[in-house]
Protein backbone atom coordinates (compact mmCIF):
# COMPACT_ATOMS: atom_id res chain seq x y z
CA UNK A 1 0.00 0.00 0.00
CA UNK A 2 2.88 2.38 0.77
CA UNK A 3 4.27 1.88 -2.73
CA UNK A 4 0.85 2.67 -4.29
CA UNK A 5 0.44 5.80 -2.14
CA UNK A 6 3.88 6.97 -3.18
CA UNK A 7 3.01 6.45 -6.85
CA UNK A 8 -0.15 8.55 -6.46
CA UNK A 9 1.64 11.32 -4.51
CA UNK A 10 4.37 11.66 -7.10
CA UNK A 11 1.84 12.55 -9.80
CA UNK A 12 -0.74 14.65 -7.94
CA UNK A 13 -2.32 16.36 -10.96
CA UNK A 14 -2.88 13.18 -12.92
CA UNK A 15 -4.04 11.30 -9.83
CA UNK A 16 -6.49 14.07 -8.90
CA UNK A 17 -8.07 14.03 -12.37
CA UNK A 18 -8.41 10.25 -12.19
CA UNK A 19 -10.02 10.42 -8.74
CA UNK A 20 -12.41 13.13 -9.93
CA UNK A 21 -13.41 11.09 -13.00
CA UNK A 22 -14.10 8.00 -10.91
CA UNK A 23 -15.92 10.12 -8.33
CA UNK A 24 -18.24 11.68 -10.90
CA UNK A 25 -19.07 8.29 -12.42
CA UNK A 26 -19.70 6.64 -9.06
CA UNK A 27 -21.63 9.68 -7.85
CA UNK A 28 -23.91 9.48 -10.89
CA UNK A 29 -24.63 5.80 -10.29
CA UNK A 30 -25.30 6.29 -6.57
CA UNK A 31 -27.52 9.32 -7.27
CA UNK A 32 -29.66 7.39 -9.73
CA UNK A 33 -29.95 4.43 -7.37
CA UNK A 34 -30.85 6.71 -4.45
CA UNK A 35 -33.59 8.35 -6.49
CA UNK A 36 -35.14 5.09 -7.64
CA UNK A 37 -34.94 3.62 -4.11
CA UNK A 38 -36.51 6.76 -2.65
CA UNK A 39 -39.43 6.83 -5.07
CA UNK A 40 -40.12 3.13 -4.57
CA UNK A 41 -39.93 3.27 -0.77
CA UNK A 42 -42.04 6.42 -0.44
CA UNK A 43 -44.64 5.22 -2.94
CA UNK A 44 -44.98 1.95 -1.04
CA UNK A 45 -45.39 3.81 2.26
CA UNK A 46 -47.97 6.21 0.85
CA UNK A 47 -49.98 3.46 -0.79
CA UNK A 48 -50.02 1.46 2.43
CA UNK A 49 -51.02 4.45 4.56
CA UNK A 50 -53.72 5.65 2.14
CA UNK A 51 -56.27 3.18 3.47
CA UNK A 52 -57.07 2.09 -0.10
CA UNK A 53 -56.80 -1.70 -0.23
CA UNK A 54 -58.62 -2.27 -3.52
CA UNK A 55 -59.43 -0.04 -6.49
CA UNK A 56 -62.43 -0.78 -8.68
CA UNK A 57 -62.53 0.42 -12.26
CA UNK A 58 -64.45 -0.35 -15.41
CA UNK A 59 -63.90 -3.86 -16.80
CA UNK A 60 -60.75 -4.47 -18.87
CA UNK A 61 -59.14 -1.29 -17.55
CA UNK A 62 -55.36 -1.03 -17.18
CA UNK A 63 -53.75 1.02 -14.42
CA UNK A 64 -51.28 2.34 -16.99
CA UNK A 65 -53.86 2.92 -19.70
CA UNK A 66 -53.84 6.69 -19.26
CA UNK A 67 -57.58 6.98 -18.53
CA UNK A 68 -60.47 5.28 -16.78
CA UNK A 69 -63.81 4.65 -18.50
CA UNK A 70 -66.83 5.55 -16.34
CA UNK A 71 -68.17 3.09 -13.79
CA UNK A 72 -71.97 3.16 -13.85
CA UNK A 73 -74.40 2.83 -10.90
CA UNK A 74 -71.82 4.50 -8.67
CA UNK A 75 -74.13 5.32 -5.75
CA UNK A 76 -75.62 1.83 -5.73
CA UNK A 77 -72.19 0.21 -5.72
CA UNK A 78 -71.28 2.12 -2.55
CA UNK A 79 -73.86 -0.01 -0.70
CA UNK A 80 -73.98 -3.15 -2.89
CA UNK A 81 -70.27 -3.99 -2.65
CA UNK A 82 -70.23 -4.06 1.19
CA UNK A 83 -73.42 -6.13 1.07
CA UNK A 84 -71.74 -8.73 -1.15
CA UNK A 85 -68.45 -8.75 0.76
CA UNK A 86 -68.67 -8.27 4.53
CA UNK A 87 -64.93 -7.55 4.67
CA UNK A 88 -65.48 -4.31 2.74
CA UNK A 89 -65.70 -1.44 5.20
CA UNK A 90 -66.11 1.28 2.57
CA UNK A 91 -66.55 1.31 -1.21
CA UNK A 92 -66.24 4.99 -2.08
CA UNK A 93 -67.09 6.12 -5.63
CA UNK A 94 -64.91 9.00 -6.84
CA UNK A 95 -65.64 11.01 -9.96
CA UNK A 96 -62.79 13.16 -11.28
CA UNK A 97 -62.92 15.86 -13.92
CA UNK A 98 -61.29 19.10 -15.04
CA UNK A 99 -63.81 21.96 -15.11
CA UNK A 100 -63.09 25.68 -15.12
CA UNK A 101 -63.71 27.92 -12.11
CA UNK A 102 -64.42 31.64 -11.90
CA UNK A 103 -64.82 34.02 -8.96
CA UNK A 104 -67.14 36.89 -8.14
CA UNK A 105 -64.75 39.51 -9.54
CA UNK A 106 -64.87 37.90 -12.95
CA UNK A 107 -68.65 37.53 -12.68
CA UNK A 108 -69.01 41.27 -11.97
CA UNK A 109 -66.68 42.18 -14.81
CA UNK A 110 -68.57 39.92 -17.22
CA UNK A 111 -71.89 41.53 -16.28
CA UNK A 112 -70.39 44.97 -16.87
CA UNK A 113 -68.94 43.78 -20.19
CA UNK A 114 -65.60 45.13 -19.07
CA UNK A 115 -63.39 42.09 -18.56
CA UNK A 116 -59.75 43.13 -18.09
CA UNK A 117 -57.22 41.66 -20.48
CA UNK A 118 -55.94 38.28 -19.33
CA UNK A 119 -58.89 37.53 -17.08
CA UNK A 120 -60.70 34.23 -17.53
CA UNK A 121 -61.82 31.05 -15.76
CA UNK A 122 -59.18 28.90 -14.06
CA UNK A 123 -58.74 25.24 -15.00
CA UNK A 124 -58.78 22.87 -12.05
CA UNK A 125 -59.27 19.27 -11.07
CA UNK A 126 -62.38 18.26 -9.17
CA UNK A 127 -63.43 15.22 -7.16
CA UNK A 128 -67.02 14.22 -6.57
CA UNK A 129 -67.60 11.83 -3.68
CA UNK A 130 -69.95 10.91 -0.85
CA UNK A 131 -68.25 12.45 2.22
CA UNK A 132 -69.48 9.85 4.72
CA UNK A 133 -68.32 6.95 2.54
CA UNK A 134 -64.61 7.75 2.91
CA UNK A 135 -64.05 6.35 6.40
CA UNK A 136 -60.61 4.76 6.61
CA UNK A 137 -59.42 6.40 3.38
CA UNK A 138 -57.06 9.35 3.50
CA UNK A 139 -58.74 12.58 2.41
CA UNK A 140 -57.42 16.16 2.45
CA UNK A 141 -57.39 17.98 5.77
CA UNK A 142 -59.69 21.00 5.97
CA UNK A 143 -57.84 23.92 7.56
CA UNK A 144 -60.58 26.55 7.29
CA UNK A 145 -64.35 26.13 7.35
CA UNK A 146 -66.66 23.41 8.54
CA UNK A 147 -66.70 21.39 5.34
CA UNK A 148 -69.71 19.55 3.95
CA UNK A 149 -72.88 19.78 6.01
CA UNK A 150 -74.17 16.31 5.13
CA UNK A 151 -72.21 13.03 5.26
CA UNK A 152 -74.36 11.60 2.48
CA UNK A 153 -75.37 13.00 -0.92
CA UNK A 154 -78.66 14.93 -0.55
CA UNK A 155 -79.22 15.73 -4.23
CA UNK A 156 -79.00 12.04 -5.21
CA UNK A 157 -82.13 11.29 -3.14
CA UNK A 158 -82.06 7.51 -3.58
CA UNK A 159 -81.57 7.73 -7.32
CA UNK A 160 -84.18 10.37 -8.15
CA UNK A 161 -81.72 13.29 -8.35
CA UNK A 162 -84.55 15.44 -7.05
CA UNK A 163 -83.13 16.20 -3.62
CA UNK A 164 -81.76 19.61 -2.56
CA UNK A 165 -78.69 20.90 -4.36
CA UNK A 166 -76.36 21.99 -1.54
CA UNK A 167 -74.05 24.05 -3.81
CA UNK A 168 -71.24 23.32 -1.34
CA UNK A 169 -67.65 22.95 -2.42
CA UNK A 170 -64.24 22.62 -0.77
CA UNK A 171 -61.20 24.15 -2.48
CA UNK A 172 -57.60 23.33 -1.80
CA UNK A 173 -55.35 26.17 -0.71
CA UNK A 174 -53.79 26.66 -4.15
CA UNK A 175 -57.12 26.97 -5.97
CA UNK A 176 -58.59 29.21 -3.25
CA UNK A 177 -55.55 31.50 -3.50
CA UNK A 178 -55.69 31.57 -7.31
CA UNK A 179 -59.37 32.53 -7.24
CA UNK A 180 -58.92 34.91 -4.32
CA UNK A 181 -61.74 33.38 -2.31
CA UNK A 182 -62.10 32.02 1.20
CA UNK A 183 -64.72 30.26 3.27
CA UNK A 184 -68.14 31.77 2.50
CA UNK A 185 -67.01 32.99 -0.91
CA UNK A 186 -68.75 32.07 -4.13
CA UNK A 187 -67.36 30.43 -7.26
CA UNK A 188 -68.82 29.24 -10.55
CA UNK A 189 -67.81 26.12 -12.46
CA UNK A 190 -68.41 24.72 -15.93
CA UNK A 191 -66.77 21.95 -17.98
CA UNK A 192 -66.89 24.17 -21.10
CA UNK A 193 -64.47 27.02 -21.74
CA UNK A 194 -65.82 30.39 -22.97
CA UNK A 195 -64.92 31.13 -26.57
CA UNK A 196 -63.88 34.71 -25.73
CA UNK A 197 -64.18 37.36 -23.03
CA UNK A 198 -67.34 38.59 -24.75
CA UNK A 199 -68.89 35.15 -24.17
CA UNK A 200 -68.25 35.19 -20.43
CA UNK A 201 -71.72 36.48 -19.54
CA UNK A 202 -73.26 33.51 -21.33
CA UNK A 203 -70.71 31.19 -19.74
CA UNK A 204 -71.80 32.33 -16.25
CA UNK A 205 -75.46 31.85 -17.21
CA UNK A 206 -74.81 28.15 -17.83
CA UNK A 207 -72.22 27.62 -15.09
CA UNK A 208 -73.13 26.23 -11.65
CA UNK A 209 -72.52 28.40 -8.60
CA UNK A 210 -71.01 27.01 -5.41
CA UNK A 211 -70.38 28.32 -1.92
CA UNK A 212 -66.94 27.59 -0.49
CA UNK A 213 -67.50 25.72 2.79
CA UNK A 214 -63.89 24.73 3.38
CA UNK A 215 -60.30 25.26 2.34
CA UNK A 216 -58.15 22.15 2.48
CA UNK A 217 -54.49 21.34 2.23
CA UNK A 218 -53.01 19.83 -0.94
CA UNK A 219 -53.85 16.21 -1.64
CA UNK A 220 -51.11 13.80 -2.69
CA UNK A 221 -53.51 11.06 -3.85
CA UNK A 222 -54.52 13.32 -6.75
CA UNK A 223 -51.42 15.39 -7.55
CA UNK A 224 -52.92 18.49 -9.12
CA UNK A 225 -51.88 22.13 -8.87
CA UNK A 226 -55.53 23.10 -8.20
CA UNK A 227 -58.19 20.81 -6.79
CA UNK A 228 -61.82 21.09 -5.64
CA UNK A 229 -64.12 18.62 -3.88
CA UNK A 230 -67.90 18.33 -4.07
CA UNK A 231 -70.80 15.92 -3.61
CA UNK A 232 -70.83 13.12 -6.17
CA UNK A 233 -74.29 13.91 -7.60
CA UNK A 234 -73.50 17.62 -7.87
CA UNK A 235 -70.21 16.99 -9.64
CA UNK A 236 -72.09 14.57 -11.91
CA UNK A 237 -74.51 17.40 -12.70
CA UNK A 238 -71.60 19.72 -13.39
CA UNK A 239 -69.85 17.25 -15.70
CA UNK A 240 -73.04 15.89 -17.28
CA UNK A 241 -73.92 12.56 -15.69
CA UNK A 242 -76.52 13.16 -13.01
CA UNK A 243 -79.37 10.86 -14.01
CA UNK A 244 -80.31 7.36 -12.82
CA UNK A 245 -79.06 5.89 -16.11
CA UNK A 246 -75.77 7.82 -16.11
CA UNK A 247 -74.90 7.64 -12.41
CA UNK A 248 -71.19 7.17 -12.98
CA UNK A 249 -67.84 7.53 -11.20
CA UNK A 250 -64.25 7.22 -12.31
CA UNK A 251 -62.98 4.84 -9.62
CA UNK A 252 -64.16 2.95 -6.55
CA UNK A 253 -61.75 3.21 -3.62
CA UNK A 254 -62.28 0.25 -1.32
CA UNK A 255 -61.14 0.02 2.30
CA UNK A 256 -61.16 -3.44 3.89
CA UNK A 257 -61.65 -4.43 7.50
CA UNK A 258 -58.92 -7.04 7.06
CA UNK A 259 -56.52 -6.10 4.22
CA UNK A 260 -54.66 -9.42 4.45
CA UNK A 261 -57.44 -11.12 2.46
CA UNK A 262 -57.37 -8.57 -0.38
CA UNK A 263 -56.89 -11.18 -3.13
CA UNK A 264 -59.94 -13.15 -2.00
CA UNK A 265 -62.01 -9.96 -1.78
CA UNK A 266 -60.85 -9.01 -5.28
CA UNK A 267 -62.17 -12.28 -6.71
CA UNK A 268 -65.42 -12.06 -4.76
CA UNK A 269 -66.19 -8.53 -5.97
CA UNK A 270 -65.24 -9.24 -9.60
CA UNK A 271 -67.44 -12.37 -9.59
CA UNK A 272 -70.42 -10.39 -8.28
CA UNK A 273 -69.90 -7.36 -10.53
CA UNK A 274 -68.74 -8.50 -13.95
CA UNK A 275 -68.51 -4.93 -15.25
CA UNK A 276 -65.73 -4.15 -12.75
CA UNK A 277 -62.00 -4.76 -12.73
CA UNK A 278 -60.56 -4.73 -9.23
CA UNK A 279 -56.91 -4.08 -8.43
CA UNK A 280 -55.22 -5.06 -5.18
CA UNK A 281 -52.67 -2.89 -3.44
CA UNK A 282 -49.92 -5.33 -4.41
CA UNK A 283 -50.91 -4.98 -8.08
CA UNK A 284 -50.88 -1.20 -7.75
CA UNK A 285 -47.44 -1.33 -6.15
CA UNK A 286 -46.37 -3.71 -8.90
CA UNK A 287 -47.28 -1.11 -11.51
CA UNK A 288 -45.33 1.48 -9.54
CA UNK A 289 -42.41 -0.94 -9.42
CA UNK A 290 -42.68 -1.41 -13.19
CA UNK A 291 -42.36 2.33 -13.75
CA UNK A 292 -39.46 2.54 -11.29
CA UNK A 293 -37.75 -0.39 -13.02
CA UNK A 294 -38.01 1.35 -16.38
CA UNK A 295 -36.46 4.45 -14.87
CA UNK A 296 -33.79 2.33 -13.16
CA UNK A 297 -32.94 0.58 -16.44
CA UNK A 298 -32.54 3.91 -18.17
CA UNK A 299 -30.45 5.21 -15.28
CA UNK A 300 -28.35 2.05 -15.28
CA UNK A 301 -27.51 2.53 -18.95
CA UNK A 302 -26.43 6.11 -18.31
CA UNK A 303 -24.43 5.05 -15.27
CA UNK A 304 -22.83 2.15 -17.16
CA UNK A 305 -21.60 4.52 -19.86
CA UNK A 306 -20.09 6.75 -17.18
CA UNK A 307 -18.41 3.77 -15.49
CA UNK A 308 -16.97 2.47 -18.77
CA UNK A 309 -15.49 5.89 -19.49
CA UNK A 310 -14.09 6.07 -15.94
CA UNK A 311 -12.60 2.56 -16.20
CA UNK A 312 -10.97 3.34 -19.56
CA UNK A 313 -9.60 6.61 -18.23
CA UNK A 314 -8.23 4.88 -15.12
CA UNK A 315 -6.69 2.14 -17.28
CA UNK A 316 -4.93 4.75 -19.37
CA UNK A 317 -3.59 6.53 -16.27
CA UNK A 318 -2.33 3.26 -14.76
CA UNK A 319 -0.64 2.27 -18.02
CA UNK A 320 1.12 5.63 -18.04
CA UNK A 321 2.10 5.06 -14.42
CA UNK A 322 3.57 1.65 -15.25
CA UNK A 323 5.53 3.14 -18.17
CA UNK A 324 6.85 5.95 -15.98
CA UNK A 325 7.99 3.49 -13.30
CA UNK A 326 9.16 0.69 -15.57
CA UNK A 327 12.75 0.80 -14.24
CA UNK A 328 11.53 0.77 -10.64
CA UNK A 329 9.33 -2.22 -11.33
CA UNK A 330 12.17 -3.99 -13.14
CA UNK A 331 14.44 -3.32 -10.17
CA UNK A 332 11.87 -4.83 -7.83
CA UNK A 333 11.80 -7.92 -10.02
CA UNK A 334 15.63 -8.04 -9.96
CA UNK A 335 15.61 -7.85 -6.17
CA UNK A 336 13.47 -10.97 -6.03
CA UNK A 337 9.89 -9.69 -5.95
CA UNK A 338 7.64 -12.19 -7.79
CA UNK A 339 5.63 -11.14 -10.85
CA UNK A 340 2.41 -11.48 -8.84
CA UNK A 341 3.68 -9.05 -6.22
CA UNK A 342 4.58 -6.46 -8.84
CA UNK A 343 1.16 -6.87 -10.44
CA UNK A 344 -0.46 -6.54 -7.02
CA UNK A 345 1.19 -3.13 -6.56
CA UNK A 346 -0.55 -1.91 -9.70
CA UNK A 347 -3.90 -3.40 -8.61
CA UNK A 348 -3.49 -1.70 -5.22
CA UNK A 349 -2.94 1.61 -6.97
CA UNK A 350 -6.13 1.11 -9.03
CA UNK A 351 -8.18 0.19 -5.95
CA UNK A 352 -6.76 3.12 -4.01
CA UNK A 353 -7.70 5.51 -6.81
CA UNK A 354 -11.18 3.97 -6.76
CA UNK A 355 -11.48 4.38 -2.98
CA UNK A 356 -10.49 8.02 -3.26
CA UNK A 357 -13.04 8.36 -6.07
CA UNK A 358 -15.70 6.90 -3.77
CA UNK A 359 -14.78 9.45 -1.11
CA UNK A 360 -15.35 12.18 -3.71
CA UNK A 361 -18.40 10.62 -5.39
CA UNK A 362 -20.56 9.92 -2.33
CA UNK A 363 -20.71 13.57 -1.18
CA UNK A 364 -21.41 14.64 -4.76
CA UNK A 365 -24.25 12.11 -4.99
CA UNK A 366 -25.64 13.12 -1.58
CA UNK A 367 -25.64 16.84 -2.33
CA UNK A 368 -26.99 16.37 -5.86
CA UNK A 369 -29.73 13.94 -4.82
CA UNK A 370 -30.96 16.18 -2.01
CA UNK A 371 -30.98 19.20 -4.31
CA UNK A 372 -33.12 17.26 -6.81
CA UNK A 373 -35.35 16.08 -3.96
CA UNK A 374 -35.96 19.64 -2.75
CA UNK A 375 -36.70 20.80 -6.29
CA UNK A 376 -39.20 18.00 -7.01
CA UNK A 377 -40.96 18.46 -3.68
CA UNK A 378 -41.33 22.18 -4.39
CA UNK A 379 -42.79 21.45 -7.83
CA UNK A 380 -45.24 18.71 -6.76
CA UNK A 381 -47.73 20.09 -4.27
CA UNK A 382 -49.66 17.84 -1.96
CA UNK A 383 -47.05 15.27 -1.04
CA UNK A 384 -46.83 14.46 2.69
CA UNK A 385 -43.86 15.79 4.61
CA UNK A 386 -42.58 12.23 5.03
CA UNK A 387 -42.31 11.72 1.26
CA UNK A 388 -38.80 11.75 -0.17
CA UNK A 389 -37.59 11.09 -3.69
CA UNK A 390 -34.22 10.01 -2.27
CA UNK A 391 -33.18 7.09 -0.09
CA UNK A 392 -29.55 6.44 0.83
CA UNK A 393 -30.17 3.00 2.25
CA UNK A 394 -27.36 0.49 2.91
CA UNK A 395 -28.02 -1.21 -0.42
CA UNK A 396 -27.33 2.01 -2.31
CA UNK A 397 -24.08 2.64 -0.43
CA UNK A 398 -22.99 -0.99 -0.86
CA UNK A 399 -23.62 -0.74 -4.58
CA UNK A 400 -21.38 2.33 -4.73
CA UNK A 401 -18.59 0.43 -2.93
CA UNK A 402 -18.93 -2.57 -5.26
CA UNK A 403 -18.88 -0.30 -8.30
CA UNK A 404 -15.63 1.29 -7.12
CA UNK A 405 -14.03 -2.10 -6.51
CA UNK A 406 -15.14 -3.26 -9.95
CA UNK A 407 -13.75 -0.14 -11.65
CA UNK A 408 -10.44 -0.46 -9.78
CA UNK A 409 -10.07 -4.15 -10.63
CA UNK A 410 -11.10 -3.88 -14.28
CA UNK A 411 -8.92 -0.83 -14.84
CA UNK A 412 -5.92 -2.62 -13.31
CA UNK A 413 -5.99 -5.74 -15.50
CA UNK A 414 -4.04 -4.45 -18.51
CA UNK A 415 -1.57 -2.28 -16.49
CA UNK A 416 -0.85 -5.14 -14.05
CA UNK A 417 -0.26 -7.54 -16.93
CA UNK A 418 2.17 -5.09 -18.52
CA UNK A 419 4.01 -4.59 -15.23
CA UNK A 420 4.42 -8.35 -14.79
CA UNK A 421 5.73 -8.80 -18.36
CA UNK A 422 8.35 -6.04 -18.30
CA UNK A 423 11.74 -7.30 -19.60
CA UNK A 424 13.95 -6.85 -16.53
CA UNK A 425 17.32 -6.84 -18.25
CA UNK A 426 16.28 -4.38 -20.97
CA UNK A 427 14.71 -1.99 -18.50
CA UNK A 428 17.77 -1.96 -16.26
CA UNK A 429 20.16 -1.37 -19.22
CA UNK A 430 18.01 1.44 -20.64
CA UNK A 431 19.59 4.90 -20.31
- Segment 322-325 long-range contacts (CB within 8 Å, at least 24 positions apart): 322/346, 322/415, 322/418, 322/419, 322/422, 324/11, 325/7
Task: Indicate the helix (H) or strand (E) that contains 297.
Answer: helix 281-324
Dist CA 246 CA 73 (whole Å): 7
pLDDT band at 217 (very low <50, low <70, confident <90, very high): confident
- Residue 257 covered by a domain: no
Shared domain for 123 and 18, answered yes or no, is no
Q: Per DSSP, what are the bridge partners of residue 128?
A: 95, 230
Going by C-alpha positions, the residue among 157, 150, 105 that lies closest to residue 132 is 150
Percentage of the chain with pLDDT > 70?
Answer: 86
CA 277 from chain centre, in angstroms, equals 24
Average the pLDDT over 141-149 and give the result.
Answer: 93
- Residue 263 covered by a domain: no
Average the pLDDT over 160-179 and give the result.
Answer: 94
* Number of domains the chain contains: 2
- Residue 61 covered by a domain: no
CA geometry: angle 342, 344, 349, nearest 5 deg: 105
Shared domain for 134 and 19, answered yes or no, is no
Dist CA 47 CA 221 (whole Å): 9
Shared domain for 28 and 111, answered yes or no, is no
Shared domain for 174 and 316, answered yes or no, is no
Shared domain for 376 and 305, answered yes or no, is yes
Shared domain for 371 and 418, answered yes or no, is yes
The pLDDT value given to residue 241: 65
pLDDT band at 427 (very low <50, low <70, confident <90, very high): low
Q: How far does the chain reach from its first CA to its final CA, in angstroms?
A: 29
Query: What is the per-residue pLDDT across 223-237, written as a single tens digit (0 to 9) for each?
Result: 667 899 999 999 999
- Residue 272 covered by a domain: no
pLDDT band at 243 (very low <50, low <70, confident <90, very high): low
Query: What is the per-residue pLDDT across 258-314, written as a single tens digit (0 to 9) for each?
Result: 999 999 999 999 999 999 999 987 777 666 666 666 666 776 677 777 778 878 878
Shared domain for 200 and 337, answered yes or no, is no
The pLDDT value given to residue 273: 94
- Residue 376 covered by a domain: yes
The pLDDT value given to residue 424: 60
Domain closes at, from 221, 248, 275: 248
Better pLDDT: 310 or 325: 310
Residues 274 and 59 sit within 8 Å (Cβ to Cβ)? yes
Better pLDDT: 349 or 98: 98
- 3-state DSSP call for residue 273? coil
- Residue 25 covered by a domain: yes
CA 265 from chain centre, in angstroms, equals 28
Domain closes at, from 248, 277, 302: 248
pLDDT band at 428 (very low <50, low <70, confident <90, very high): low
pLDDT band at 257 (very low <50, low <70, confident <90, very high): very high
Shared domain for 166 and 104, answered yes or no, is yes
The pLDDT value given to residue 258: 94
The pLDDT value given to residue 365: 86
Better pLDDT: 69 or 291: 69
- The whole model's pTM is what? 0.70
- Residue 135 covered by a domain: yes
CA 339 from chain centre, in angstroms, equals 53
What DSSP string describes 21-88? HHHHHHHHHHHHHHHHHHHHHHHHHHHHHT---EEEEETT--TTSS--PPEESHHHHHHHHHHH-TTE
Average the pLDDT over 18-31 and give the result.
Answer: 81
Domain that holds residue 308: 2-46+287-429
- 3-state DSSP call for residue 383? coil
pLDDT band at 28 (very low <50, low <70, confident <90, very high): confident
pLDDT exceeds cutoff 70 at 2? no
Dist CA 326 CA 406 (whole Å): 25
Percentage of the chain with pLDDT > 90?
Answer: 37
The pLDDT value given to residue 223: 61
Shared domain for 344 and 407, answered yes or no, is yes
pLDDT exceeds cutoff 60 at 416? yes
Better pLDDT: 410 or 335: 410
pLDDT band at 206 (very low <50, low <70, confident <90, very high): very high
Shared domain for 128 and 228, answered yes or no, is yes
- Residue 66 covered by a domain: no
Query: What is the per-residue pLDDT across 328-379, written as a single tens digit (0 to 9) for each?
Result: 777 777 777 777 877 777 788 788 888 888 888 888 888 888 888 888 777 6
pLDDT band at 130 (very low <50, low <70, confident <90, very high): very high
Total residue length of the chain: 431
Average pLDDT, the chain: 83
pLDDT exceeds cutoff 90 at 388? no
Better pLDDT: 169 or 321: 169
Shared domain for 189 and 314, answered yes or no, is no
Shared domain for 238 and 149, answered yes or no, is yes
pLDDT exceeds cutoff 70 at 380? no
pLDDT exceeds cutoff 90 at 43? no
Amino acid sequence: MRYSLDAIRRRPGRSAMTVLGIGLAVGLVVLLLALSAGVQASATTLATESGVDLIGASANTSLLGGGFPPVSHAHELATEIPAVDSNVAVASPWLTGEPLFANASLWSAANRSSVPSGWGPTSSGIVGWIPGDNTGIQVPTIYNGTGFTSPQDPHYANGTYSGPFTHEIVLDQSLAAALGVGVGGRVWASPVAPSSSAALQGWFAHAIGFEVVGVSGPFWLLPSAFLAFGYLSEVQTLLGGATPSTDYATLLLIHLNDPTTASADQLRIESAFRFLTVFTLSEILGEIQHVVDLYRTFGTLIGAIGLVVAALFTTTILLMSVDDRSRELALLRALGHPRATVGAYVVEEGLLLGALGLAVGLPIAYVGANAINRFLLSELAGLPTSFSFVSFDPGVILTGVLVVVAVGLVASIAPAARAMQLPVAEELRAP
